[in-house]
C-alpha cells in the first residue's frame, strides 16, 4: 500500500527549487501556476532568502505549486497514479496539494485558494501577537493538560512526543515558565497561531471564495487532517480545507489511518523530509521516500511500483459510491434497511472503532444500485459500502 503525502509550511528552504527548475517542462508548468497565483514563485523558490519565504503569504502557494508540478513529474500520465496510490494526505496547507493532486479541485482553483488562504492568515496573524511552540517529549496526557491549563491549543498533533502549542505570546511565555516535565520546548519561527481560533477571520474569507469552487469526488482516498477519516465527497474535501484553517491538524490520526490501511510505503513530495521523519518514528517497519531533487525521480517511480496497488474506489458517470470514513464495524441504520433510494444527507449507518464512531451519509440523491457490505461487517478506511445511481443521470 502506497501513501503519498504533501508537507506543510516550514518545509521550504532557500533555493530548494533550483534543481527542479532546470527541467524545462517543470519550469513551464511552475511558471503557469505562479501566474495563476499572481506571485513570482520562481524567484521565491530560487533566490529569495529564508525570511522572505517564511512569510505565510509566500510559503503556502510556493509549497502547493511545488507539490503539484512535482506530482506530474512523478506521474507524467496522471491516470497511471490511480493504479498505484492507495491514499493521499497533506499536512496543513498540504491538504490543498493533496486535493488538487487527486482532482477533487483543479490546480488553478488550488492556487487561487492557497493565495487567498495565505494572505488571509497573514492578516489574521497581524491582529494579535500570537505564536507556536513545539513540545517534544514528556508524558502525552500531561503535555495536553498543561497546554489546556494555559489556554493554548494543541494546533498540530503529530504523534507521540510531538505536539505544537499555539496561542498568544503571553500564554506561550507562561507555558514556557511552567513546562511539562521531561518536555523540551522549541519556539517556532511562524507569523501566528495557525489552526486556532485566532485564524477565524481567515476562515470566513476563504469560505466565501470556496462557494465558487467546483469539486469532484476523488478516485483516491483522501485522509483528512481533521480526524484521520477518509473523505470521498469532493464538497466535504473542500469544506474541511476551509475549516482546517482554524482547527488543529491531527496528523497523529492520519498516521493511524495509514496503519489501518496497511501502508507499506510513504512517499513525501518536495520539499520533503518532515513527514517522512515523523513516519520513521511513528510507523515502524514502513518504508519511506523523501523526494527532494529531480535526480531521485527514477528511484521514486521504482518505489511507487514496489508499494503501489489499485484503490478500491473507482468512479463512472452512471453511479456514485458511499465509502467508509474509517476502520471499524459497519452498522446499518434501521430506518434504511428496506430503502431502495436515498435523499442526499441520509444517514445510512455508522462505522465504529475503538477510536470513534463516524456517521456514514449518502451524499447524492439517488436509487440504490447494490450494497457492497452487510450489516456488522468489518470495513477498512475508504472501502466502498454501496453504489447509488444519482437522480437525473442517464
- Check: CB of residue 230 under 8 Å from CB of residue 260: no
Helix residue ranges per DSSP H, the chain: 24-37, 41-46, 50-54, 56-74, 94-101, 107-125, 140-149, 169-177, 200-210, 234-243, 251-261, 274-282, 297-307
Active site residue 92: yes
Active site residue 205: no
Count the neighbouring beta carbons within 10 Å of the beta carbon of residue 103. Answer: 17
- β-partners of residue 222 are 88, 231
CA pair distance 64, 250, nearest whole angstrom = 20
Is 89 strand, coil or helix?
A: strand
First CA to last CA distance, the chain:
35
Catalytic residue from among 48, 92, 125, 380:
92
From the list 44, 91, 150, 195, the catalytic residue is: 195
Instruction: List the Cα angle 323/328/334 in 5-degree steps.
Output: 70
In the numeric block, the cell 511552567 is attached to: 178
SS3 assignment for 103-148: CCCCHHHHHHHHHHHHHHHHHHHCCCCEEEEEEEECCHHHHHHHHH
Helices (H), 263-345: 274-282, 297-307
R_g of the chain, CA atoms, integer Å: 21
| DSSP state, residue 269 | P
- Residues marked active site are found at 92, 195
Amino acid at each position: 500500500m502506497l501513501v503519498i503525502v504533501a508537507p506543510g509550511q516550514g518545509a521550504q528552504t532557500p533555493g530548494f527549487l533550483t534543481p527542479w527548475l532546470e527541467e524545462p517542462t517543470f519550469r513551464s508548468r511552475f511558471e503557469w501556476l505562479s501566474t495563476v497565483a499572481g506571485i513570482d514563485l520562481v524567484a521565491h523558490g530560487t533566490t529569495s532568502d529564508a525570511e522572505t519565504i517564511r512569510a505565510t503569504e509566500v510559503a503556502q502557494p510556493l509549497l502547493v505549486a511545488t507539490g503539484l508540478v512535482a506530482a506530474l513529474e512523478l506521474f507524467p500520465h496522471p491516470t497511471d497514479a490511480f493504479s498505484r496510490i492507495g491514499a493521499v494526505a497533506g499536512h496543513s496547507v498540504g491538504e490543498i496539494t493533496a486535493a488538487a493532486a487527486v482532482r477533487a479541485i483543479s490546480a488553478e482553483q488550488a492556487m487561487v485558494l492557497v493565495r487567498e488562504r495565505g494572505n488571509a492568515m497573514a492578516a489574521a496573524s497581524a491582529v494579535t501577537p500570537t505564536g507556536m511552540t513545539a513540545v517534544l517529549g514528556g508524558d502525552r496526557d500531561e503535555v495536553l493538560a498543561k497546554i489546556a491549563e494555559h489556554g493554548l491549543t494543541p494546533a498540530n498533533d503529530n504523534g507521540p512526543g510531538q505536539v505544537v502549542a499555539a496561542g498568544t505570546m503571553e500564554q506561550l511565555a507562561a507555558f514556557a515558565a511552567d513546562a511539562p516535565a521531561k518536555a523540551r520546548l522549541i519556539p517556532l519561527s511562524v507569523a501566528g497561531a495557525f489552526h486556532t481560533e485566532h485564524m477565524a477571520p481567515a476562515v470566513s474569507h476563504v469560505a466565501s471564495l470556496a462557494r465558487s469552487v467546483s469539486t469532484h469526488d476523488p478516485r483516491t482516498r483522501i485522509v483528512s487532517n481533521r480526524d484521520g477519516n477518509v473523505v470521498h465527497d469532493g464538497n466535504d474535501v473542500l469544506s474541511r480545507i476551509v475549516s482546517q484553517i482554524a482547527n488543529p491538524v491531527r496528523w497523529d490520526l492520519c498516521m493511524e489511518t495509514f496503519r489501518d490501511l496497511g501502508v507499506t510505503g510513504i512517499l513525501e513530495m518536495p520539499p520533503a523530509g518532515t513527514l517522512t521523519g515523523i513516519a520513521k518514528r511513528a510507523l515502524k517497519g514502513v518504508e519511506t521516500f523523501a523526494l527532494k531533487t529531480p535526480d531521485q525521480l527514477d528511484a521514486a517511480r521504482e518505489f511507487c511500483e514496489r508499494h503501489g496497488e489499485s484503490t478500491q474506489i473507482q468512479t463512472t458517470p452512471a453511479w456514485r459510491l458511499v465509502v467508509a470514513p474509517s476502520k471499524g464495524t459497519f452498522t446499518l441504520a434501521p430506518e434504511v434497511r428496506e430503502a431502495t433510494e436515498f435523499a442526499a444527507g441520509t444517514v445510512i449507518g455508522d462505522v465504529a472503532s475503538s477510536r470513534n464512531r463516524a456517521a456514514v451519509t449518502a451524499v447524492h440523491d439517488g436509487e440504490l444500485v447494490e450494497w457492497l457490505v452487510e450489516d456488522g461487517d468489518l470495513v477498512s478506511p475508504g472501502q466502498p459500502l454501496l453504489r447509488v445511481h444519482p437522480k437525473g443521470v442517464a
